[in-house]
């Protein structure tokens, strides 16, 4: 996200600032506005600008916010109400609190579900003339689609959480996704797979599996699909949206690698669902500005929706994607064609052909025609660096607290088991011989101490 260098000034309890727009060809009336404390985000068609204000906004007074676009200067001007400047005493107190509770800037920047959308409370004017704020945001590969999907052809209700992506700006899609994930996350299911994967009988352990990246020979059917795409595809200029295209590719590949690993490359009836649900590009038409939110969204979704919800397994799938990109085109192209074929399967649970239309066929063309090995290797290195910098806290699911709670429960179970075994030994010894009470008492004491030491060892291992 672009944190812009924005000119601003304060007029009493009002902040006036200017937001330059870099992409002049876009529709400036197609915008979406969000605020949070001292942060302001403007989505103008495909351009995203974020402003960090040194004072906090007055969120209780966000009504009839004036926003004007100057076509000559190619910039928005906006005025927002702010709270009075803090006194020196308040600043000192705030500084002391910040030392006790340091801000995680990286986490805050990627967390959007706390932002309030104020688009309906804004009044937009272009060169002084009031204009209606529109909602016609681009979606799909390189944002080449606009307008409401044709529902007689593209029913997205069963395969996507967003059925009309043209009405959702990129930020709103992310907020919607994170909101849905927060509702769907099940801590108990995460606990089940935390210590050890709960593998159904007859299934292989996915953590021990190695993806055969050398298996990329195309079937006759896949070759026919590839040839049709080569003939029918209309070339487009991808340079302006190269980063978003690459991020979308990684998002799709992460879901593919997860499915390949957990099925040991033997597809199941849920493989199409897995590949689509784990990719936020496919399930939310989400657009990305860099790889960090791509990795975070995959890790979150892999701990919420599929059968195995294990953090280490999910990171292995990211490493698989790193290796797939490092090796180049062949395996990636093969898997995109496999995915395309599955999404066309009329016997599947739901028709996923719209995902082929908006994404997969374009990525097949992109990998086959545009990309070279050096570009994919560069993307692989960038993805590896992002994975190294990503930790559980960045997922914002409270995994640390859940794991601590689980370990406490395990320790309590160990103590209860140890205590019951010790009592059982005492009772059985008393029934077998009641004559030598002093000797029995010493033996029971020794047994109890031995059990206690055993429990301590287990606790240390945990």
Query: Each residue of 86-135: pLDDT tens digit?
Result: 643 344 444 444 444 343 333 344 467 788 899 998 999 999 999 999 89
Give the DSSP per-residue string, 254-266: HHHHHHHHHTTT-
Residue 436 lies in a domain: no
Residue 270 lies in a domain: yes
Residue 405 lies in a domain: no
Is 29 in the same domain as 176?
no
Asked if pLDDT for residue 462 goes beyond 90, the answer is no
Q: What are the residue ranges of helices labelled H in 22-87? A: none
Give pLDDT tens digits for 72-93.
888 899 888 888 876 433 444 4
Is 180 in the same domain as 280?
yes
Determine the pLDDT at residue 424. 63
Residue 421 lies in a domain: no
More confident call, 331 vs 233: 331
Give pLDDT tens digits for 393-426.
999 999 999 999 998 888 887 777 776 666 666 5
Q: At 17, which CATH number?
A: 2.60.40.790
Residue 276 lies in a domain: yes
Is 113 in the same domain as 190?
no
Cβ atoms of residues 273 and 259 within 8 Å: no
Is 295 in the same domain as 173?
yes
Is 206 in the same domain as 120?
no
Is 324 in the same domain as 220?
yes
Give pLDDT tens digits for 29-41.
999 999 988 888 9
Is 309 in the same domain as 347?
yes
Determine the pLDDT at residue 99. 44
Q: What are the residue ranges of helices labelled H in 199-308? A: 220-232, 242-262, 271-277, 280-284, 291-302
Give pLDDT tens digits for 42-74.
998 888 888 888 888 888 867 888 999 998 888
Is 225 in the same domain as 163?
yes
Give pLDDT tens digits for 348-369.
667 799 999 999 999 999 999 9
Determine the pLDDT at residue 86. 66
Of 188, 189, 206, 187, residue with least CA distance to 313: 206
Asked if pLDDT for residue 312 goes beyond 90, the answer is yes
Local confidence band at 23 (pLDDT 50, 70, 90 cut-offs): low
Q: How many structural domains does the chain have?
A: 2
Beta sheet of 2-3, edge-to-edge order: 2-3, 47-52, 39-44, 31-36, 116-117
Give the integer Cα–Cα distance in Å for 282 and 357.
11
The residues with which 122 forms a beta bridge, in sequence order, are: 65
Is 98 in the same domain as 164?
no
Of 384, 362, 376, 325, residue with least CA distance to 139: 362
Give the integer Cα–Cα distance in Å for 169 and 177.
12
Is 198 in the same domain as 332?
yes
Residue 432 lies in a domain: no
The domain boundary, picked from 346, 368, 397, lies at 397
Residue 456 lies in a domain: no
The domain boundary, picked from 69, 96, 131, lies at 131
Local confidence band at 342 (pLDDT 50, 70, 90 cut-offs): very high
Determine the pLDDT at residue 13. 85
Asked if pLDDT for residue 174 goes beyond 90, the answer is yes
Residue 420 lies in a domain: no
Give the integer Cα–Cα distance in Å for 322 and 310.
19
Local confidence band at 179 (pLDDT 50, 70, 90 cut-offs): very high
Is 214 in the same domain as 91?
no
Determine the pLDDT at residue 448. 43
Is 162 in the same domain as 84?
no
- Name the residue range of residue 108's domain: 2-131
Determine the pLDDT at residue 460. 39
The domain boundary, picked from 363, 378, 397, lies at 397
Determine the pLDDT at residue 89. 34
Determine the pLDDT at residue 456. 38
């Amino acid at each position: 996200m672009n944190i812009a260098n924005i000119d601003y000034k304060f007029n009493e309890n009002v902040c006036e600032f200017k937001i330059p727009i870099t992409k002049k060809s876009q529709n400036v009336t197609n915008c979406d506005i969000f605020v949070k404390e001292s942060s302001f985000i403007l989505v103008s068609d495909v351009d995203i600008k974020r402003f960090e204000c040194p004072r906090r906004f007055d969120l209780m007074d966000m009504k009839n916010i004036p926003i004007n676009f100057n076509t000559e200067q190619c910039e928005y001007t906006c005025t927002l109400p702010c709270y009075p400047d803090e006194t020196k005493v308040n600043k000192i107190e705030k500084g002391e609190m910040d030392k006790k509770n340091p801000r995680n800037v990286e986490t805050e920047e990627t967390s959007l579900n706390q932002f309030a959308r104020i688009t309906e409370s804004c009044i937009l004017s272009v060169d002084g003339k009031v204009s209606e704020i529109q909602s016609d945001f681009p979606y799909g590969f390189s944002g080449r689609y606009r307008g409401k999907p044709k529902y007689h052809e593209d029913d997205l209700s069963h395969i996507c959480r967003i059925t009309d992506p043209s009405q959702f700006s990129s930020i709103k899609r992310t907020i919607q996704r994170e909101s849905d994930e927060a509702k769907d996350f099940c801590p108990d299911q995460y606990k089940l797979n935390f210590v050890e994967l709960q593998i159904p009988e007859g299934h292989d352990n996915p953590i021990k599996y190695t993806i055969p990246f050398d298996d990329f020979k195309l079937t006759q059917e896949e070759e026919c699909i590839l040839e049709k795409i080569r003939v029918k595809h209309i070339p487009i200029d991808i340079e302006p949206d190269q980063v978003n295209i690459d991020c979308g590719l990684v998002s799709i590949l992460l879901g593919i690698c997860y499915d390949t690993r957990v099925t040991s490359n033997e597809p199941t009836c849920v493989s199409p669902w897995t590949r689509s649900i784990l990719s936020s590009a496919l399930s939310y038409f989400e657009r990305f500005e860099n790889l960090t939110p791509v990795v975070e969204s995959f890790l979150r979704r892999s701990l919420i929706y599929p059968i195995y919800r294990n953090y280490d397994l999910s990171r292995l799938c990211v490493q698989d994607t790193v290796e797939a990109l490092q090796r180049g085109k062949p395996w990636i192209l093969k898997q995109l064609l496999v995915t395309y074929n599955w999404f066309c399967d009329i016997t599947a649970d739901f028709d996923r052909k719209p995902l082929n239309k908006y994404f997969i066929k374009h990525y097949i063309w992109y990998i086959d025609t545009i990309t070279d090995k050096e570009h994919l290797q560069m993307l692989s290195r960038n993805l590896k660096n992002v994975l190294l910098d990503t930790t559980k806290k960045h997922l914002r699911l409270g995994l640390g607290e859940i794991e601590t709670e689980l370990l406490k429960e395990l320790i309590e179970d160990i103590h209860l088991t140890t205590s019951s075994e010790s009592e059982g030994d005492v009772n059985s010894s008393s029934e077998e011989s009641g004559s030598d009470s002093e000797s029995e008492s010493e033996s029971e004491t020794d047994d109890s101490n031995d059990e206690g030491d055993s429990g301590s060892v287990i606790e240390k291992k945990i």
